[in-house]
Amino acid sequence: MSAGGLRIGTRGSALALWQARHVAAALRAAHPDLPVEIVEIVTTGDRDRARPLSALGGKGVFVREIERALLAGAVDLAVHSLKDLPGELPAGLCLLGTVARAPVEDVLVLRPPLAGLAPGDLPAGTTVGTGSLRRAALLRRHAPQVEVRPIRGNVPTRLSKVEAGDVDGVILARAGLVRLGILPPHARILPASSFLPSPGQGLLGLEARADDARVHALVAAIADAEATCAHDLERAFVHRLGADCHVPVAALATVEGPRLRARANVLAPDAGAVAEATWSGPVGAAAEGGRILAERVLAAGGAAILASLAG
């Protein structure tokens, strides 16, 4: 592609490709003469779909190879699910403003005749699969009678485990199911008030080289102001907390007029302890708010939970 085009690096899963194409379409609409190419990159997380993410090295397993391609100049922009990004980015890379947020909630998809039941109403011994420590901890907190099963795989693969009878149900991000157009009609949306989502859930991380002013300007034209505020707060929260996929962490920021409100928690994996905090402030203080929110969570018991997991 010529120097005037844009190459987007992405994983090759159906959801990742949808996300990259979504961003590509927005860029083409904003810049009609801009040639955009999508480059599929295989990551460590894609190659090893059996072991838990924590055993592979955390969230970075889905992004390292893409970030290397960015730094090498093989691609100009990376599109990630924001919740897959570690709190610390490699030197020379940065996140830009993001596009509008998808639904933030988790959903519970159950086999008949359990379909539609709330987690607390499930019979004892019901098996629910998830690859997320946060979702597993929240299940243990709100539905201790349920047996949590660790699973891996892309969105269709996880749904197929219910159809095959490997598990009675799975918990997934509503955003991915909506984006792929495969949200089952019997899926139960879990309210964010009790199942607080992962930081960045429903948001896309648009990553570029820090010194690439051309790409920064191109992406600025498609950025959504409210989503970018939430993006900046939740990323600052994760960065200050220093947490990774070994820790069940949740956070959600919402814009209400000129104000930004956020809630977060850190849970012990067995849900025996939880540290919670809130913050509100002007939309212009998103990054500062994320740092303050993390400090409050740490002071409320999060530091002790993190220390126990580190030990």
Q: Does 199 sit behind a cis peptide bond, omega within 30 degrees of 0 on the bond before it?
A: no
Opening angle at CA 268, ends 265 and 272, nearest 5: 105
Q: Residue 115 corresponds to which tokens in the numbers above?
A: 């379909």
Q: Which amino acid is at 238?
A: V
Radius of gyration of the chain (CA): 19
The helix (H) or strand (E) run that includes residue 25 is helix 14-30
Quick one: CA torsion of 222, 227, 232, 235, rounded to 10 degrees? -110
Is 84 a known active-site residue?
yes
Catalytic residue among 46, 48, 84, 232: 84
Q: How far apart are CA 89 and CA 72, in angstroms?
A: 15
Q: How far apart are CA 179 and CA 203, in angstroms?
A: 12
Catalytic residues: 84
